């Protein structure tokens, strides 16, 4: 199986350390809509556009645009996101 072939949505969502950092910030702020600027500031990831697009397409993140400003919030209705929150908390990657 070639390395570039993606078999599961989890491989898309968790494909890099940058993705993990973005997901951590979104989970830490799960009740809020966040801008890409805020996400970049908190993660050190200079451009999260590709990551956010993929997470929105997967249904892991909700996108909201008001007056031309787009914000993002983790989709806590998604069972995989709930499982990720539990996993990140159990291993100490995320603190409640």
Domain boundaries, given as residue ranges, for the chain: 9-89
> DSSP letters along 35-79, please?
-HHHHHHHH--S--HHHHHHHHHHTSEEEEEETTEEEEEE-TTSH
Looking at residues 28-51, what average pLDDT do you find? 96
Average pLDDT (13-42) is 96
Domain 9-89, what architecture?
Orthogonal Bundle (1.10)
- pLDDT tens profile 79-88: 999 999 999 9
Q: What is the pLDDT of residue 4?
A: 54
pLDDT for residue 29 is more than 60: yes
Q: Is the pLDDT of residue 48 over 70?
A: yes
pTM metric for this prediction = 0.88
């Amino acid at each position: 199986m070639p390395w570039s072939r993606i078999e599961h949505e989890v491989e898309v969502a968790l494909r890099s350390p940058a993705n993990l950092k973005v997901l951590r910030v979104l989970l830490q702020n799960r009740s809020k809509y966040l801008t890409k600027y805020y996400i970049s500031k908190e993660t050190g990831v200079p451009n999260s556009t590709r990551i956010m697009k993929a997470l929105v397409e997967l249904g892991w993140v909700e996108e909201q645009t008001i007056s031309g400003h787009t914000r993002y919030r983790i989709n806590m209705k998604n069972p995989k996101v709930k499982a990720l929150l539990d996993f990140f908390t159990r291993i100490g990657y995320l603190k409640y």
